[in-house]
Amino acid sequence: ETGVTQSPTHLIKTRGQQVTLRCSSQSGHNTVSWYQQALGQGPQFIFQYYREEENGRGNFPPRFSGLQFPNYSSELNVNALELDDSALYLCASSWDGAGGRETQYFGPGTRLLVL
Amino acid sequence: SQQGEEDPQALSIQEGENATMNCSYKTSINNLQWYRQNSGRGLVHLILIRSNEREKHSGRLRVTLDTSKKSSSLLITASRAADTASYFCATDAGTSGSRLTFGEGTQLTVNP
């Protein structure tokens, strides 16, 4: 167990809808990252939040957005869903400090299916 | 885009044998990490090796890193059926936060 939880575990949406995925980080971790993993592929970095500010973004359009809250929780929002958004969405929490980067701990993921 | 490439894509061995997986990457890195994933679920962190380290051990795992060749290998000794999973290498380039760039993974099957 990594101490990182995600909800919901599975979700079915239709094209054009909006979705919010949630993540609860390990207590004390100041950084959360979100990844998209298509079937049969490795995870792709979406973006990262550090102390509630976006701190880096991968090659994803603006309809992918996020929030990080002071209570170690975070959200990934996707607007105008497309069929290709069907994937496993993973969040990972870590501690980034002056001592350097630490291991990222992943949640179990939310599997999103867009019909 | 994927930075790392794992080799082989799939590996099938018998219980008790050793399994070796390789990873190559393209840019300079801050560290390299190996993860395991069972049946499309969450990733489990196995080991992290920093760019100034050459070898690291953790239980039955041995990781090597050759920054001159931009490559790493993961060795699992005395494999067990429970080691059956997908294994991914991920690099942290040390820029713009601690984003990880993953390869496409090696599917390991350990037959009892």
Eight-state DSSP code of residue A54? E
Q: What does the pLDDT read at residue B1? A: 43
Residue of higher predicted confidence among A29 and A87: A87
Which residues partner with B24 through β-bridges?
B5, B71
A33 interfaces chain B, CB cutoff of 8 Å? yes
Residue ranges of alpha helices (H) inside chain B are none
- Mean pLDDT (whole number) for A33-39: 95
Write out chain B residues lying below 8 Å of A96, CB-based: 97-98
φ and ψ of A8, to 5 deg: -75, 175
Which two tokens mark A86? 């069907």
| Beta-sheet pairing, A87-94 with A73-78 | unpaired
Q: Tell the residue number behind the tokens 């300079």, with chain if given.
A: B28
- Residue B4: pLDDT above 70? no
Place of tokens 């607007």: A79
B5 band by pLDDT with thresholds 50, 70 and 90: confident
| A30 pLDDT tier (thresholds 50, 70, 90) | confident
What one-letter code names the amino acid at B36?
A: R
Residue A9 burial by CB count (10 A; 0-12/13-18/19+): exposed, middle or buried?
exposed
Tens of pLDDT, residue by residue over B39-68, are 878 899 999 999 999 999 999 999 999 999
Q: B109 burial class (0-12, 13-18, 19+ CB within 10 angstroms)?
A: middle
Selecting from B41, B98, B102 the residue whose C-beta is nearest the C-beta of A96 gives B98
Q: Quick: pLDDT tens for B73-83.
A: 999 999 999 99
| Residue B95 pLDDT grade (very low, low, confident, very high; cuts 50, 70, 90) | low
Question: What are phi and psi for residue A67, nearest 5 degrees?
Answer: -145, 150
Q: With 90 as the cut, is the pLDDT of residue A89 above it?
A: yes
Q: Is the pLDDT of residue A26 over 90?
A: no
Cβ count near A83 (within 10 Å): 10
Token readout for B110 is 């350990």
- pLDDT at residue number B99: 85
Q: Which chain A residue's Cα is nearest to B31? A: A101
Indicate the residue of B40, B88, B94 with minimum beta-carbon distance to A42. B88
Chain A residue numbers with beta carbons less than 8 Å from the beta carbon of B104 are 40-42
Q: What pLDDT score does A80 carry?
A: 98
Q: B7 with B24: CB under 8 angstroms?
A: yes
| Model confidence at B107: pLDDT above 50 | yes
Mean pLDDT over B5-22 rounds to: 93
Between A70 and A86, residue with greater pLDDT: A86
Q: Is B68 left (phi over 0), alpha (psi -120 to 50) or beta?
A: alpha
Mean of pLDDT over chain A: 91
Please say whether the beta carbons of A68 and A100 come within 8 A: no
Of B41, B88, B100, the CB nearest to A104: B100
Task: Give the Cα-Cα-Cα angle B98, B92, A104 (nearest 5 degrees).
Answer: 55
pLDDT at A51: 86
Q: Rounded mean pLDDT of chain B? A: 91
